[in-house]
Amino acid sequence: MKFLKTLPVLAGAAVLLSACADEIVQPISPDSPLASISQSETVAGSEFVGSNPEPTGSYIVLTRSGRIASNLYSQLEAAGGAVTHFIPEIGVAIVAPISEDFQDRAARIQDVESVTPDYVVQWIDPSTFQAGEAFTAEATTSGTDAIGSTAVFRSFQWAPDAIDAPQAWASGFTGQGVRVAILDGGIFDDHLDLTDNIDRAASRSFTTGEWNSDTGTFWHGTHVAGIVAASGDVGVVGIAPRATLVGVKVLHSGSGPFASIINGIVYASKPQSEGGAGAHVINMSLGATLNYRDNWGSKAYRDSFRELTKAVDRATRYAYQQGTTVIASAGNGATNFDVARELFKIPAQNEHVISVSATGPHGWGFGNTNFHNPAYYSDYGKSLVDISAPGGTVGLAIVDGNFNLCTIVGEFRTITNTCAVFDQVMSTVRGTTTASYNWAQGTSMAAPAAAGVAALIVERNGGRMSPHAVRTALHRTTADIGIRGNHEFYGHGWVNAARAVGVTDGTGPARGQPARGASASAGRN
């Protein structure tokens, strides 16, 4: 059961710090940096390239045939390059130049379509908003084996209830046997709510550091992974709590080259029998917004990003052909892509990618259940968004200027904080322990919620399902929130886990009140 009360804001308080049971933690105040963020700015999760990308010094070579001929290595070497990586599945080579005229000479090779400088970009905004340092939990005991029933912070997770995930679990759909690749900055694999669900042997890094490393204590990839498949054994529960996670590190501190993204997509979707991760679903809570008309100054820049977009298209097309559903965050620039036609979002607008916008409640701490409200920061537009999902929002503070406090009395913990904090998504983080948790907001949080629902859909179909069929199922089984057709913000609708697996009509989150506290659901499969 969840109880609440509203308190006056504490003067001069700072952002949230660590908390123990029955503790009033330091809240966000009107004087904090958060309060000065405008509605149109990126706040959390990802997704705007605000400065010119930096060249890596390497080149991405695309072949016309889409294959790697046996003599291409020697031809590139003769052109003055050192091949560092071939991606034969999509006809791409990564080459470091040895001679200054490598690009011109390589472009004259008969089967070469383009030779393009690779660039490092910031795919995840470094100012990602999170609610201070991490909460910690210790395992609890309970008389039931129901999923999430012993999770210390389950009472603070409105998102699974909002999309009727407990009803799906109660019917036996938990993501068991479905592989979800998390393309991000790294997953903290010792986290107690993730450790048993991670396929370490299949996890890889395509950039700086090992696949289970990153910087700081938040670890964006760890938060994302928990939204998909936290076990619910200790602190929080994911949408598909028995799915298998594969960590594919393509970023470090939120940035990385295009080559890493392309490599990661191909590896994640390649069958295990061929040495790949064999993912049924890929989640990419990352993105770059490219302004072809205004930002890139010269034709050379525009040509470069056209070719790099083609390379990403080849990777996502390959994933589609392998039967892997690719899901990406729509972005946090509060921009209508139907109007801003000069913009292109990678990878959300690449071929066969399901793009997800974010929603969040406005005052859950007051008892509000408007979970499908559009998040103030989310990018939108019929040309961008496929579906929408819970991503959280601090709009209560940012938009309304409401910095009042709420006290939430959960099943195992009582927490007092600025009411807007509770409107965000709580999940796993790196923290300072093996059981640390925190809130965050963004389309970065919405995409893994949709990925978790996709995993449930694939499980229901016996583990074999084409990406087209998964997309169709996601579109067809969205919650009834009174929209029809393709909506500029919701796309084809707001995800619903129970409806996706055929166990409810999906009217719960739109018309009823979600469960409070630990969910009543089926035991571990």
Enumerate the active-site residues.
Answer: 184, 220, 444
DSSP string, 384-429: T-SEEEE----HHHHTT----EEEEE-SS-EEEEEGGGGGSEEEEE
Provide the terminal-to-terminal Cα distance of the chain, rounded to the nearest Å.
26
- Residue 310: DSSP 8-state: H
Beta strand 343-346 pairing with 387-390 = unpaired
Token representation of residue 70: 């046996």
172 to 157, 176, 197, 403, 521: CA distances (angstroms)? 20, 9, 17, 41, 9
Which H helix or E strand runs over 454? helix 443-460
Closest CA to 276 of 203, 194, 369: 203
Beta strand 204-205 pairing with 244-249 = parallel
| Phi, psi (deg, nearest 5) at residue 3 | -120, 160
187 to 191, 204, 208: CA distances (angstroms)? 9, 11, 14
238 to 93, 97, 122, 227: CA distances (angstroms)? 37, 45, 27, 5
